[in-house]
Structure 1
């Protein structure tokens, strides 16, 4: 790093007017926010300027005005200037500047704020940990001067992902004596000739990874096959693409495997409480292999809590096996969470831990961290206690299996559990649900598509699973256990990673208001919005043709949930404090919370390590990024599998709805399968269609023909690109004019050119859309 580029002098903060009780000027507030990016909340501003009593009301109004004028933004209840960054975040390292120093951009950046800022990334002196172009790193902003090629300077805290040296692609054979070659998945990469001496039994069309062995100075580069993943039509090959393209670690280091194999099961009670006589059961998907949680419930016999219920939740004691700083702990921190594909899981922890020692298997003694929660007859939690226990699952049930028993169709297994176990659990849920209904969390209705695979790993069919009370029961019990964990750790003043969900930004709310106005619906213009306001809107359109449309737009107006040591509450669940505690086998955040409870309650010596407070902010940013990475990989895999499955249905017609509208066209979601595809705007009829952002619609210039988010349409599949996971459709339906649907039997009439010149549409690609 050139010395001229760095200002090593200590940054001198500006002095702000500070008269106790007197509201500061707008300039004072803006200066304070600028000097404290990501740390200046309303409380901090009031404390700094000595604002007390009624003066806080004027401060609140001033902050609102500054936000509406676009001079500050509210992010996680902290004020920042537009374009400012939090102190710690994850960045992609995209290149180098003219001095050879690394440049990065933030991974999590709102595109509405414009192009992401470029950050000059400073590295340490240890070569073993040096990041490079293509890596992903956790970085901390510094106060050094950035120079002309970047707007910020940061130092690397930790390299999260190293760019893979292997190249993933499709193996192709050539006729005659010509060398076989690799068709890279990444279209930006060149074709590679493949060394024929060891093809690993690869056949034409197989997915393989190769290592480049010779540069391509005189012809194509040469490469050797490292691994064969099989036919591109299989789920394993498709999910492998997602793993490689998103840089998800999926091979455990040797030290991690050794530690996992050396782990011993808990065979004696020791200092644990004995919960083995409580008939806890696991309720999971039928193919689940790792069981994090078990539940049981019973009526509260206390005369002071008539009609109340007691709910027991036992969670796998992962902290017993995965100790701070150990190889398994370091790898779990890097992975952040397990990644779920249609036919396999990339676990956060080795299989011996996740599927064997920790998993709450049926009729096996297992260590657990349990919480006993007492609810009154209104569903309000009135007390809870945590216990480190030894438990034994009385039964492993699937959601459908448990639901059928409650609905009057028990099988041999559930029949013996119905009266003493299942019915009491459902009775407790009926009470707890009253509390949930009174709390009024955000109730979005957006069905999730699932893929059923054949034995050979190819797609059998796509379906939307039914949402059962069994799902809702487990979900609500887990939410209450998570709340109990957050409350306990707060009370004990323990370090804590919250699961937070911020309210929508003013910009997103304004966009939602514009959209709702097109449906003659209103969003309140003033006052704090609660989830119940959104629920009221969703209730108005329930069972109407606009229901799916409004649910989609409300979802897009919401912020992303994340992990942070700063509590701002959970907007979607309408909770003041919330932490993830119930899935430590598959989420690192939950393991942190388990350790916090162990330390805070004196339940063992394997709790939080010393000095964790200073690291929680970085850990939260790191695992939040890992969570988004996993979600993208899972979605990409489903998209690619569906594109492969539909590639032999070119020319077929489907019913669907418009799921997204952009300037370049429309995204269509098919009705039967939930598959997504795209209709380019240039192929829609003979008019010129303009994008109306407020109404999420494309509107014809001359005809007023309108295609809006949520409209039902008929489409024809014209192209499937499995590598990209993309489907291209041709629109067969007509749009609406003046709010009315155009008759599908009406002929499509070509618009002639205007007098004195050629029509805009005459040079556009015309549609082959048929009239019906």
Structure 2
């Protein structure tokens, strides 16, 4: 990009912008660059696009809030964190000390799979790697060693069969067993789940381990949750100081709170919910200046009334960051006396609350809002399906009396808000949620897809609006806050999406801005076709991960400029910080945000973002283990599924019946050798060119189901699809085979 500066000064081009940033030594923002280049008028607008291009290409990076700095080449040997997998399941890494947008780092083929003396790598692991630059500015990484292993604790199952006892790691990525150190095997029984610390390396190559804790029977039906919690280091109890503090708490009184007891606020939750932190109410607005408008109140449990900044309860809640929801249990952020009693908006019981009253016009646009520190009594506790059934004309004894005075006004307000939502155009990805049902004996009884009613959407939209109000008010009051931040998809992920869509005859212009409404049109275009589920999956994978941040890039997925979490303080620490900031900003009490907490929000945001990812990983791992337990009795059965990922070592298949994901190793695809073609998102046969592609419907046979690791292995029964017609000599220059017999020669690179 080059343009002649209208001011007659230095021309605006990429080189001059890069030189200005270099001279600024990381302290130049857009204003300083424009001043250095003496830009005026339209040149300043052109500068904005030039900076965006340089950012997308990785030539510059953001430094702090608004400055830019040149992207420096990474050292050849560096410490990285494995942070994600790409669309094909390959491990992605970033430099440990990078604060900004780093270049793409991909682990070389086989480098993260374990073996050859190296432990397996997974998302969240740290590793020392050697980097090799690629032509596109990315890097290939080769593992030198996994870091932190000496202090690392490993969850294993003790096996005392014939011969020497062994310790089998429960992590499916770990390939090597361990040997109990001398006398250690006597600490536990055969089949026990044990927490181990690595010892010395055995002369035969296996490492020894010290058993530090016996967790329980690995074959018990609820072992899946125990393994997930211990594997991810999630604390499951409360400290003595926390328990002593919670026992000394006395219920707060109404004091000078706003009395909301005459307003029939109700809670609408899953049928098995135990804590209730949000209640809703709506009514037509009686202001003649707002015809057909609506009043909406969202009331939230007042956790800040009990959990004071710096207290033992506060420190414990921050250490957990959030509640963790596993198939058979909940690990709460707060002790039960708070989460299920004092702070839970129980039916017909008086409770303190933080509430926001919002006024909407007939088309769902918010006119105004204000926050209240209130005193409420929930008029009813309803389940989603019961509330929906009442609206659909099938009320029961409980919902019947509520239908006219409470439920119909709620739905009326929701219909207005739905108009504004449609106009706003948030990202609408269809991602069915599956629920693992557990019986009283701890075994899985069934796996079902959760129905999504208008009742779910109503609560979701009301909560979104309340969260927006929290962010807007805190900005207006000048109080520091933690935003829920969601950035647009990266350029690299958009290019990958465009490449995939071209393989199924769908188009996405690489130069087209990835607006949410553009994604929605793509999904609508795919709806009803054979690729709809796959397009949903790939669009979902292309999105950035939402985080907590004191910076405000907006919320891309919801298409909102300001967004904070306010509505779930019982189970999310971020919401508690928002409550305290509102209490102080709106002068609603003396127990609001302290100066000390305000100064620590950036560190808190980083911590709770990490803790949220930890909880999500534990929830996913526990679900995988319960599903593997459920399918273990069906080994040998055939299932219909769809390929959801392709890698150099095989393809991942998701079963239609249960939503379970498993691997078909490349060695089980038949006699032909297969290559991973990144452009086609497919495994391609060496001889025929036929392929197994992303999104392809297949039939597989379940060969192995291992509840202890959550792993499923399939054998492919569907033949490959006919690939594009190949020209003579097309074999030359193809990627190396995904499956290689014999050891790799030393020093060879891909």
Which of the five TM-score ranges fits, normalised by the shorter chain?
A: 0.7 to 0.9
Alpha-carbon shift at residue 691 of structure 1 (Å):
2.3
Taking a change above 3 Å as real, the CA distance of residues 84 and 400 of structure 1, as seen in their structure-2 partners, is farther
Structure 1 regions of 5+ residues with no counterpart?
1-18, 86-96, 98-102, 122-133, 140-160, 741-753, 755-759, 766-772
Taking a change above 3 Å as real, the CA distance of residues 628 and 166 of structure 1, as seen in their structure-2 partners, is closer
Q: What is aligned with 1:609?
A: 594
Taking a change above 3 Å as real, the CA distance of residues 80 and 107 of structure 1, as seen in their structure-2 partners, is farther
Q: What is aligned with 1:716?
A: 701
Deviates more, 1:640-649 or 1:555-564: 640-649
Deviates more, 1:516-525 or 1:374-383: 516-525
Alpha-carbon shift at residue 64 of structure 1 (Å):
3.7
2:646 to 661, 665, 670: 661
Give the Cα–Cα distance (whole angstroms) in 2 for the partners of residues 457 and 272 of structure 1. 44
Taking a change above 3 Å as real, the CA distance of residues 179 and 668 of structure 1, as seen in their structure-2 partners, is closer
Indicate yes or no: 2:242 matched with 1:256: yes
Q: Is the 8 A contact 1:498 1:564 kept in 2?
A: yes
Alpha-carbon shift at residue 118 of structure 1 (Å):
5.4
Q: What is aligned with 1:265?
A: 251
Give the Cα–Cα distance (whole angstroms) in 2 for the partners of residues 78 and 675 of structure 1. 45
Alpha-carbon shift at residue 547 of structure 1 (Å):
0.5
Q: What is aligned with 2:60?
A: 72
- CA deviations over 1:601-629 (Å, ceiling 9, x no partner): 00011111114444222211111111111
Taking a change above 3 Å as real, the CA distance of residues 761 and 116 of structure 1, as seen in their structure-2 partners, is closer
Q: Is the 8 A contact 2:662 2:713 kept in 1?
A: yes
Indicate yes or no: 2:603 matched with 1:618: yes
Give the Cα–Cα distance (whole angstroms) in 2 for the partners of residues 761 and 353 of structure 1. 53
In structure 2, the residue corresponding to 1:445 is in which secondary structure? coil
Indicate yes or no: 2:320 matched with 1:335: yes
Q: What is aligned with 1:192?
A: 180
Taking a change above 3 Å as real, the CA distance of residues 621 and 672 of structure 1, as seen in their structure-2 partners, is same
Alpha-carbon shift at residue 242 of structure 1 (Å):
1.3
Give the Cα–Cα distance (whole angstroms) in 2 for the partners of residues 39 and 434 of structure 1. 45
Q: What is aligned with 1:441?
A: 426
- CA deviations over 1:372-406 (Å, ceiling 9, x no partner): 11111111111111000011111111111111111
Give the Cα–Cα distance (whole angstroms) in 2 for the partners of residues 538 and 600 of structure 1. 42
Per the normalisation by structure 1, the TM-score is 0.79
Give the Cα–Cα distance (whole angstroms) in 2 for the partners of residues 761 and 183 of structure 1. 27
Indicate yes or no: 2:265 matched with 1:277: no
Q: What is aligned with 1:14?
A: none
Alpha-carbon shift at residue 259 of structure 1 (Å):
1.2
Where in structure 2 are the equivalents of 1:758-769 lying within 5 Å?
Answer: none
Q: What is aligned with 2:665?
A: 680
Taking a change above 3 Å as real, the CA distance of residues 84 and 255 of structure 1, as seen in their structure-2 partners, is farther
Q: Is the 8 A contact 2:181 2:199 kept in 1?
A: no
Q: Is the 8 A contact 2:481 2:581 kept in 1?
A: yes
- CA deviations over 1:696-738 (Å, ceiling 9, x no partner): 2222243332322222110001122333221111111123225
Taking a change above 3 Å as real, the CA distance of residues 710 and 114 of structure 1, as seen in their structure-2 partners, is closer
Q: Give aligned pairs, total.
A: 672
Give the Cα–Cα distance (whole angstroms) in 2 for the partners of residues 55 and 191 of structure 1. 68
- CA deviations over 1:439-481 (Å, ceiling 9, x no partner): 1100000112210112111211212111111111111110000
- CA deviations over 1:106-150 (Å, ceiling 9, x no partner): 4647879975435599xxxxxxxxxxxx9x99x9xxxxxxxxxxx
Give the Cα–Cα distance (whole angstroms) in 2 for the partners of residues 39 and 674 of structure 1. 50
Where in structure 2 are the equivalents of 1:452-491 lying within 5 Å?
Answer: 452-491=437-476
Indicate yes or no: 2:224 matched with 1:238: yes
In structure 2, the residue corresponding to 1:304 is in which secondary structure? coil
Alpha-carbon shift at residue 592 of structure 1 (Å):
0.9
Q: Is the 8 A contact 1:77 1:568 kept in 2?
A: no
Alpha-carbon shift at residue 289 of structure 1 (Å):
1.1
Taking a change above 3 Å as real, the CA distance of residues 699 and 182 of structure 1, as seen in their structure-2 partners, is closer
Q: Is the 8 A contact 2:59 2:71 kept in 1?
A: yes
Alpha-carbon shift at residue 666 of structure 1 (Å):
0.9
Q: Is the 8 A contact 1:168 1:241 kept in 2?
A: yes
Where in structure 2 are the equivalents of 1:106-185 lying within 5 Å?
Answer: 106=81, 108=83, 115-117=93-95, 168-173=155-160, 183-185=168-170
Give the Cα–Cα distance (whole angstroms) in 2 for the partners of residues 763 and 265 of structure 1. 67
Q: What is aligned with 1:537?
A: 522
Where in structure 2 are the equivalents of 1:606-755 lying within 5 Å?
Answer: 606-737=591-722
Per the normalisation by structure 2, the TM-score is 0.81
Q: What is aligned with 1:360?
A: 345
Q: Is the 8 A contact 1:107 1:625 kept in 2?
A: no
In structure 1, the residue corresponding to 2:279 is in which secondary structure? strand
Give the Cα–Cα distance (whole angstroms) in 2 for the partners of residues 420 and 414 of structure 1. 11
Q: Is the 8 A contact 1:29 1:45 kept in 2?
A: yes
- CA deviations over 1:292-318 (Å, ceiling 9, x no partner): 101111111111111111111000111
Give the Cα–Cα distance (whole angstroms) in 2 for the partners of residues 213 and 692 of structure 1. 42
Give the Cα–Cα distance (whole angstroms) in 1 for the partners of residues 569 and 346 of structure 2. 15
In structure 1, the residue corresponding to 2:634 is in which secondary structure? coil
2:387 to 402, 405, 413: 402
Taking a change above 3 Å as real, the CA distance of residues 410 and 390 of structure 1, as seen in their structure-2 partners, is same
Give the Cα–Cα distance (whole angstroms) in 1 for the partners of residues 421 and 448 of structure 2. 29
Indicate yes or no: 2:406 matched with 1:421: yes
Taking a change above 3 Å as real, the CA distance of residues 45 and 602 of structure 1, as seen in their structure-2 partners, is farther
Taking a change above 3 Å as real, the CA distance of residues 68 and 327 of structure 1, as seen in their structure-2 partners, is closer
Q: What is aligned with 1:509?
A: 494
Q: What is aligned with 2:734?
A: none
Alpha-carbon shift at residue 229 of structure 1 (Å):
3.1
Give the Cα–Cα distance (whole angstroms) in 1 for the partners of residues 346 and 8 of structure 2. 61
